[in-house]
């Protein structure tokens, strides 16, 4: 397997200059989040008290070995799963206070999703898939924004195609475009390149990167691949349900070193 | 090994197998129920008549020539003096003169019981022999002209007790009697809701207007006398046109006659049962197709780890058979419930079924098993073969599904099957090869093939049609509507199959509706054209109106013309010389031209006044090569022969048949009690409708069995009867229709299961539970409307063909009942919404995270 292109960049000057400014606003944050499965001796803590914030306008990666709780954390942050104790806030709203209807509304308007596979409704065209959240809410589509998103992911000539007529990479690009199209507060991506070859995977990650840089989007991504994680502004490492390490502006090598320390194969 | 796998797989897919089993059990239970019902009713009546004739040694009665009672012929009575003749025959111990006449009991509220329903008899009371099942329950036998005994069903119905004074309507009008006793059968059975009043034998003839005659003479022979010897001796003493039968023969004959009716009833039920079975076959077939499709990856996995094609095939078949056997057993016994349910439905609609012991014959079980297991085998063998041919590598292909099992679009096959079906149907209707059996065979098989063919064809049209139906729904309901529309057109084959089950029921209802409404409209327009009478008095008692009704109408000056219509049966030499049974109507030749318009094209009714004149329907006359002035030899039902002269021809035989004679001629040739089928009357000029109706109502007031209607009311009643007929057919088809909505529910539930991941995704990106439920609901509606549309088109075609096939005298104009079709569509939408309830709920209750994680 040939190595992935590592994003080659210098530390940004702005982060140095703006150091004393106000603390960055969190798009989503978990406070002492615990998620316990089972009871008694069979109890397993998927999350054993995670406190974690995703900064506004940043690309955050969550890594960790299998069973570390990284997917559970993502699902709880996104309001797809509920915590046993602790709290999760998106845009300042405590998700535990929301009922199903409000959670649905939140997912439609404030959150975008990119899953590993089966991201699209097979009966809808690419364009319909991208606009689905807005259509569900009966919201008007911001055409200018939509065109910009479509241009960014390079799918202008694929809008009328159904998922079965698109390659795996194109399907994931549609999924990213859908997540972006509704201008959510935050996008959650669960191993978005897990099913793709390295070229397509790289493309997807570049789009996500540019969405953050150029469009100011906030993205949280779960991955087990250090080269993918290297696209992020920050990598948070989970092990046994706890945050164990964090690297800001990581490189793939740094990530691999950190993984070795945690005991990742 | 395969058995273990089959067992595990069955328990793992518990819910789906319950659905499949229910579909099989429903279909089987209706088939079994039809047989059970017909067998049980037949057995009950057989027993009833065996019991009634068990204590009867011999019966003397008038002969019927060329016709029998099931044709509606009423035997002449025997003259009373014959009783003494028979009593004098050696070996005869006792002779009882019997008659059964009209006697209707009036309840405490002043309403005549029975109404237009079951018959109300008046009998002469003779002390029943000690071994008779029929005995006096309470009180004493009637003595004198003012006492009566009624039977247990009548007592239960009216709550009259011994000692009460009860009004009874007899031929001469209303009379009060003292109730002195109640008679009943030991086994508590009643005969089809009939009620009976018994009068002292010495006065019964006077009370029931049967002086000088008896219907039958019931003979008891001496102890130790030989039945056959006595029978022959009685026969030797009898005049012409009378006969003697043993009690056994009388019982068998009654059973046979009833058997004919019950067989027709059973056949009718069976047709509906087969429709239900056919519909359930569609659903079973569909469900197996879908579930096997959903398991293809699992089956391919089995192949890849070493199972051979035969083992895979066997696994599927064994699983299906286990479900089929359990469901069929359930269905056979479910038939007992269905039979009860049908009895209940019929009784609700006013039919008086006797209480029946359910009879499950081995034949019923065998047929049910063949249908239950046969349908499953047919549904499963083909998909099992295809599934076993799936290459093992297919296990890796996620897109594999139901469609992988289909063999192309079958456009040609569907068109050919439909063509053959329609041709057979039309040949059956119009050519009728071999008469009625040919009609039934060709018509039935043709309809069946048409349905199968249309189902194949509708696979081709399912996509455009379901998209078209869905278009307005998408427009109105947005994304949920769009998802519903896309899903409904996603697997055209599945949609077509699911809708086809509904299509069959809807087609049959629409065909029946077209037929019934065409019949009604033809009938009412005929009535409008052919009846000039202002009033029609109809009989509600089934035995005909007593002559007193017509007499009282003749006597009122507000009416200018009155004629009763009576009927007698007989035979005439047919075109080939052999006797041909006919029904002859007798009318008043003086007044009838003012009352009806039968399009007399030659001669006139005045010719009947001479006594031996007869008016003949033109086509019948042509068949028999009769012209005006020709003579025709008629043998009446009682054996009397007469030569009639054709006095004219008419073109409209819709009123009362092909032959008309005068009332005088009828009373000359027949001794039977005078009974009017109905009476026509015309208001005299210068009399206002109010005056006329007051006078006419007063004239018939003492005869509650006579129903007085003006022309419009009469037509409305006929329409009402047609509606009842349609309602009956709808009730019988409702099982098939209910089953087809059950099919929609099952298919949707399976689809929801299949689309778990997609549903999870929709929910994740922001579809609310409500929107999700709505999308599934509208999917059901689209499928249902598709079924209704195809069904209505097929049904209209069938109904029009059916209406054209019957003679013009029965149906001459075709009516498409648009309101009924609209109602069916509305009903289908509502039923589809109900059918979608469970799948929609199941989908909306899915855990989003688990749904997304589903493989």
Kindly tell me if the per-residue pLDDT of A15 is higher than 60: no
d(CA B300, CA B306): 10
- What pLDDT is recorded for position B253? 83
Residue of A nearest to B855 (CA): A118
Kindly tell me if the per-residue pLDDT of B705 is higher than 80: no
Identify the band that residue B349 occupies on the pLDDT scale cut at 50, 70 and 90.
low
Contacts of B483 in chain A (CB under 8 A): 121, 123
The most confident of B73-77, B384-388, B800-804, by mean pLDDT? B800-804
- Higher pLDDT: B788 or B298? It is B788
Kindly tell me if the per-residue pLDDT of B708 is higher than 80: yes
Identify the band that residue B71 occupies on the pLDDT scale cut at 50, 70 and 90.
low
Closest to B209 in 3D by CA, of B668, B639, B543: B543
d(CA B362, CA B340): 19
Q: Do A121 and B761 touch (CB under 8 A)?
A: yes
Q: Do A123 and B487 touch (CB under 8 A)?
A: yes
Q: Do A104 and B478 touch (CB under 8 A)?
A: no
Q: What percent of chain A has pLDDT over 70?
A: 89
d(CA A65, CA A63): 7
Kindly tell me if the per-residue pLDDT of B480 is higher than 70: yes
Which among B483, B766, B771 is the top mutation candidate for probing chain A, defined by the most A β-carbons within 10 Å of its own β-carbon? Answer: B766
Q: Do A164 and B399 touch (CB under 8 A)?
A: yes
d(CA B30, CA B4): 33
- What pLDDT is recorded for position A189? 92
- What pLDDT is recorded for position A8? 40
To the nearest whole number, what is the mean pLDDT of chain A? 83
Q: What pTM was computed for the model? A: 0.74
CB B666 within 8 A of CB B586: yes
Window 58-77 of A: residues touching B by CB (8 A cutoff) are: 75
Among the partner-chain residues A113, A121, A136, the one whose CB lies closest to the CB of B758 is A121
Q: Do B490 and A123 touch (CB under 8 A)?
A: yes
- What pLDDT is recorded for position B791? 92
The residue-averaged pLDDT of B73-89 equals: 86
CB B486 within 8 A of CB A162: no
CB A173 within 8 A of CB A189: no
Kindly tell me if the per-residue pLDDT of B724 is higher than 70: yes
CB A107 within 8 A of CB B766: yes
In degrees, to the nearest 5, what angle opens at C-alpha B575 toward C-alphas B570 and B579? 30
d(CA A73, CA A69): 6
Q: Do A136 and B490 touch (CB under 8 A)?
A: no
Least confident of A197-206, B50-59, B145-154, B688-697: B50-59
Q: Do B479 and A133 touch (CB under 8 A)?
A: no
Kindly tell me if the per-residue pLDDT of B402 is higher than 70: no
- Higher pLDDT: B634 or B114? It is B634
Kindly tell me if the per-residue pLDDT of A12 is higher than 60: no
- What pLDDT is recorded for position B617? 92
Spell out where chain A has E strands: 26-37, 44-55, 59-63, 85-90, 93-94, 111-114, 186-190, 219-222, 234-239, 242-248
Identify the band that residue A231 occupies on the pLDDT scale cut at 50, 70 and 90.
very high
DSSP state of B671: -
The H or E element spanning position B390 is none
Question: How far does the CA of residue A101 sit from the closest CA of chain B (Å)?
Answer: 7
String of DSSP letters for A119-152 = -S-TTS-HHHHHHHHHHHHTPPP-HHHHHHHHHH
- What pLDDT is recorded for position B355? 67
What pairing do the DSSP bridges indicate for beta strands B242-246 and B613-617?
A: unpaired
Looking up tokens 């023969």, which residue turns up?
B249
The residue-averaged pLDDT of B467-494 equals: 85
Contacts of B761 in chain A (CB under 8 A): 115, 118-121
Q: Which two tokens stand for residue B423?
A: 């041709």
Identify the band that residue A22 occupies on the pLDDT scale cut at 50, 70 and 90.
very low
Contacts of B762 in chain A (CB under 8 A): 121, 132, 136
Kindly tell me if the per-residue pLDDT of B5 is higher than 80: no
- Higher pLDDT: B848 or B835? It is B835
- What pLDDT is recorded for position B532? 85
Neighbours of A154 (CB within 10 A): 13
Contacts of B852 in chain A (CB under 8 A): 80, 115, 118
- R_g (Cα) of chain A, nearest Å: 18
Q: Do A138 and B486 touch (CB under 8 A)?
A: no
Least confident of A80-89, A143-152, B218-227, B383-392: B383-392
Identify the band that residue A40 occupies on the pLDDT scale cut at 50, 70 and 90.
confident
Kindly tell me if the per-residue pLDDT of B466 is higher than 80: yes
Window 118-137 of A: residues touching B by CB (8 A cutoff) are: 118-124, 128, 132-133, 135-137
Kindly tell me if the per-residue pLDDT of A14 is higher than 50: no
**pLDDT tens, residue by residue, B281-296:** 888 888 888 888 777 7
Least confident of A104-108, A251-255, B523-527: B523-527
Looking up tokens 């990167």, which residue turns up?
A209
Q: What percent of chain B has pLDDT over 90?
A: 11
Q: Give CA separation, A94 vs A135, A163, B473, B595, in Å.
A: 26, 35, 37, 89
Neighbours of B187 (CB within 10 A): 10
Chain pair A-B, CB pairs under 8 angstroms: 67
The residue-averaged pLDDT of B312-338 equals: 90
Contacts of A81 in chain B (CB under 8 A): 849
> Which positions in chain B have a beta carbon within 8 angstroms of at least one beta carbon in chain A?
399, 478-479, 482-483, 486-487, 490, 757-758, 761-769, 771, 848-849, 852
The H or E element spanning position B834 is helix B818-835
The residue-averaged pLDDT of B747-767 equals: 85
Identify the band that residue A220 occupies on the pLDDT scale cut at 50, 70 and 90.
very high
- What pLDDT is recorded for position A2? 39
- Higher pLDDT: B339 or B254? It is B339
Identify the band that residue B315 occupies on the pLDDT scale cut at 50, 70 and 90.
confident
Q: Which two tokens stand for residue B415?
A: 């068109």
**Contacts with B311 (C-beta within 8 Å, 6 or more apart), sequence order:** B1, B2, B302
Kindly tell me if the per-residue pLDDT of B727 is higher than 70: yes
- What pLDDT is recorded for position B396? 54
H helices within B588-710, ranges in order?
592-595, 618-623, 663-669, 689-700
Q: Give CA separation, B133 vs B87, B253, B257, B579, B732, in Å.
A: 25, 20, 22, 42, 36
Kindly tell me if the per-residue pLDDT of B663 is higher than 60: yes
- What pLDDT is recorded for position B394? 61
Q: Which two tokens stand for residue A86?
A: 């602790």
- What pLDDT is recorded for position B413? 80
The residue-averaged pLDDT of B406-433 equals: 79
CB B486 within 8 A of CB A124: yes
Among the partner-chain residues A100, A108, A119, the one whose CB lies closest to the CB of B761 is A119
Kindly tell me if the per-residue pLDDT of B110 is higher than 80: no
d(CA B206, CA B209): 5
Identify the band that residue B118 occupies on the pLDDT scale cut at 50, 70 and 90.
low
Contacts of A100 in chain B (CB under 8 A): 769
- What pLDDT is recorded for position A3? 42
Q: What percent of chain B has pLDDT over 70?
A: 93
Q: Do A136 and B758 touch (CB under 8 A)?
A: no
Closest to B119 in 3D by CA, of B215, B204, B195: B195
DSSP state of A30: E
Question: How far does the CA of residue A12 sit from the closest CA of chain B (Å)?
Answer: 34
Least confident of B14-18, B115-119, B168-172, B286-290: B115-119
Q: Do B852 and A119 touch (CB under 8 A)?
A: no
d(CA A228, CA B461): 48
The residue-averaged pLDDT of B318-344 equals: 90
Residue of A nearest to B399 (CA): A164
Report ipTM (2 d.p.): 0.77
Looking up tokens 């299949």, which residue turns up?
B754
Q: Do B762 and A133 touch (CB under 8 A)?
A: no
The residue-averaged pLDDT of A117-133 equals: 85
Report the helix count and the strand count for chain A, using DSSP H and E.
Answer: 9, 10
d(CA B379, CA B27): 14
- What pLDDT is recorded for position B350? 60
- What pLDDT is recorded for position B191? 60
Among the partner-chain residues A100, A109, A135, the one whose CB lies closest to the CB of B478 is A135
Q: Do A123 and B399 touch (CB under 8 A)?
A: no
The residue-averaged pLDDT of A64-90 equals: 87
Identify the band that residue A19 occupies on the pLDDT scale cut at 50, 70 and 90.
very low
């Amino acid at each position: 397997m040939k190595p992935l292109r590592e994003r080659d960049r210098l530390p940004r000057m702005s982060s140095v200059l703006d150091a004393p400014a106000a603390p960055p606003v969190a798009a989503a944050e978990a406070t002492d989040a615990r998620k316990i499965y089972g009871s008694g001796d069979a109890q397993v803590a998927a999350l054993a008290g995670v406190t974690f914030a995703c900064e506004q306008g940043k690309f955050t990666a969550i890594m960790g070995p299998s069973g570390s709780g990284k997917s559970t954390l993502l699902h709880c942050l996104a309001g797809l799963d509920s915590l046993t104790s602790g709290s999760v806030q998106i845009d300042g709203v405590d998700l535990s206070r929301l009922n199903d209807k409000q959670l649905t509304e939140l997912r439609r308007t404030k959150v975008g999703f990119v899953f590993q596979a089966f991201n699209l409704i097979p009966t809808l065209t690419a364009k319909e898939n991208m606009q689905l959240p807005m259509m569900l809410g009966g919201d008007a589509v911001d055409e200018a924004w939509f065109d910009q998103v479509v241009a960014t992911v390079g799918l202008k000539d694929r809008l009328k195609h159904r998922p079965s007529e698109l390659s795996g990479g194109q399907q994931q690009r549609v999924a990213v475009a859908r997540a972006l199209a509704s201008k959510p507060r935050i996008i959650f991506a669960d191993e978005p390149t897990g099913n793709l070859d390295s070229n397509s995977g790289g493309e997807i990650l570049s789009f996500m990167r540019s969405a953050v840089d150029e469009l100011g989007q906030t993205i949280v991504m779960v991955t087990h691949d250090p080269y993918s994680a290297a696209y992020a502004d920050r990598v948070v490492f989970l092990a046994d349900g706890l945050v164990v390490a964090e690297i800001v502006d990581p490189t793939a090598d740094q990530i691999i070193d950190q993984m070795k320390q945690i005991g990742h194969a | 090994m395969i058995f273990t796998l089959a067992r595990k797989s069955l328990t793992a897919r518990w819910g789906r197998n319950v659905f499949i089993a229910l579909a099989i059990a429903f279909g089987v239970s209706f088939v079994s129920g039809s047989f059970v019902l017909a067998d049980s009713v037949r057995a009950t009546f057989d027993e009833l008549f065996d019991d009634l004739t068990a204590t009867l040694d011999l019966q003397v009665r008038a002969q019927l020539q060329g016709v029998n009672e099931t044709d509606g012929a009423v035997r002449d009575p025997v003259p009373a003096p014959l009783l003494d003749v028979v009593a004098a025959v050696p070996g005869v111990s006792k002779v009882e003169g019997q008659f059964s006449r009209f006697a209707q009991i009036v309840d405490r509220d002043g309403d005549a019981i029975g109404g237009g329903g079951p018959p109300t008899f008046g009998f002469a009371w003779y002390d029943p022999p000690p071994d008779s099942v029929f005995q006096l329950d309470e009180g004493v036998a009637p003595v004198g002209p003012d006492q009566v005994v009624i039977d247990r069903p009548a007592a239960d119905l009216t709550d009259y007790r011994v000692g009460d004074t009860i009004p009874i309507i007899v031929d001469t009008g209303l009379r009060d009697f003292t109730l002195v006793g109640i008679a009943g059968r030991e086994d508590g059975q009643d005969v089809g809701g009939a009620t009976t009043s018994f009068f002292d034998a010495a006065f019964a003839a006077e009370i029931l207007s049967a002086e000088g005659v008896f219907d039958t003479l019931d003979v008891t022979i001496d102890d130790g006398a030989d039945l056959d010897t006595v029978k022959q001796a009685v026969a030797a003493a009898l005049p012409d046109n009378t006969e003697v039968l043993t009690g056994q023969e009388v019982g068998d004959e009654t059973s046979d006659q009833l058997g004919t009716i019950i067989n027709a009833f059973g056949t009718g039920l069976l047709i509906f049962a087969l429709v239900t079975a056919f519909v359930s076959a569609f659903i079973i077939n569909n469900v197996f197709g879908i579930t096997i499709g959903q398991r293809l990856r699992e089956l391919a996995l089995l192949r890849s780890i070493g199972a051979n094609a035969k083992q895979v095939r066997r696994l599927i078949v064994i699983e299906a058979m286990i479900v089929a056997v359990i469901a069929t057993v359930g269905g056979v016994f479910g038939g007992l419930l269905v039979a009860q349910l049908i009895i209940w439905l019929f009784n609700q609609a006013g039919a008086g079924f006797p209480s029946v012991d359910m009879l499950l014959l081995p034949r019923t079980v065998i047929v049910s098993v063949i249908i239950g297991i046969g349908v499953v085998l047919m549904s499963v063998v083909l998909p099992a073969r295809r599934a076993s041919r799936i290459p093992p590598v297919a296990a890796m292909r996620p897109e594999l599904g139901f469609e992988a099992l289909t063999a192309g679009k079958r456009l040609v096959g569907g068109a050919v099957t439909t063509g053959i079906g329609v041709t057979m149907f039309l040949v059956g209707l119009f050519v009728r090869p071999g008469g009625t059996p040919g009609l039934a065979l060709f018509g039935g098989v043709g309809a069946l093939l048409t349905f199968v063919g249309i189902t194949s064809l509708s696979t081709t049209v399912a996509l455009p049609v379901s998209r078209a139906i869905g278009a307005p729904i998408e427009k109105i309901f947005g994304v949920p509507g769009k998802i519903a529309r896309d899903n409904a057109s996603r697997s055209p084959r599945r949609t077509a199959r699911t809708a086809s089950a509904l299509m069959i029921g809807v087609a049959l209802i629409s065909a029946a509706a077209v037929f019934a409404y065409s019949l009604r409209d033809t009938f009412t327009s005929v009535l409008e054209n052919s009846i000039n009478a202002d009033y029609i008095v109809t009989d509600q008692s089934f035995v005909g109106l007593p002559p007193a009704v017509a007499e009282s109408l003749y006597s009122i000056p507000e009416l200018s013309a009155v004629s009763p219509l009576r009927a007698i049966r007989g035979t005439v030499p047919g075109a080939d010389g052999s006797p041909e049974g006919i029904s002859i109507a007798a009318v008043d030749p003086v007044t009838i031209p003012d009352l009806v318009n039968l399009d007399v094209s030659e001669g006139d009714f005045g010719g009947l006044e001479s006594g031996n004149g007869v008016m003949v329907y033109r086509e019948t006359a042509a068949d028999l090569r009769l012209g005006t002035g020709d003579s025709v030899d008629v043998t009446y039902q009682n054996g009397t022969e007469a030569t009639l002269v054709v006095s004219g021809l008419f073109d409209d035989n819709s009123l009362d048949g092909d032959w008309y004679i005068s009332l005088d001629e009828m009373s000359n040739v027949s001794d039977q009690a005078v009974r009017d089928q109905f009476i026509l009357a015309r208001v005299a000029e210068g009399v206002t409708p109010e005056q006329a109706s007051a006078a006419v109502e007063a004239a018939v007031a003492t005869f509650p069995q006579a129903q007085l209607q003006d022309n419009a009311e009469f037509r409305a009643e006929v329409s009402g009867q047609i509606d009842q007929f349609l309602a009956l057919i709808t009730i019988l088809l409702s099982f098939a229709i209910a089953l087809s909505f059950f099919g929609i529910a099952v298919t949707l539930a399976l689809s929801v299961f299949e689309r778990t991941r997609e549903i999870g995704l929709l929910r994740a990106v922001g579809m609310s539970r409500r929107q999700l439920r709505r999308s599934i609901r509208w999917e059901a509606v689209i499928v249902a409307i598709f079924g209704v549309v195809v069904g209505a088109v097929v049904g209209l075609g069938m109904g029009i063909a059916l209406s054209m096939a019957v003679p013009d005298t029965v149906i001459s104009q075709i009516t498409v009942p648009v309101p009924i079709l609209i109602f069916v569509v509305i009903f289908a939408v509502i039923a589809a919404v109900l059918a979608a309830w469970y799948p929609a709920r199941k989908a909306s209750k899915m855990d989003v995270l688990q749904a997304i994680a589903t493989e």
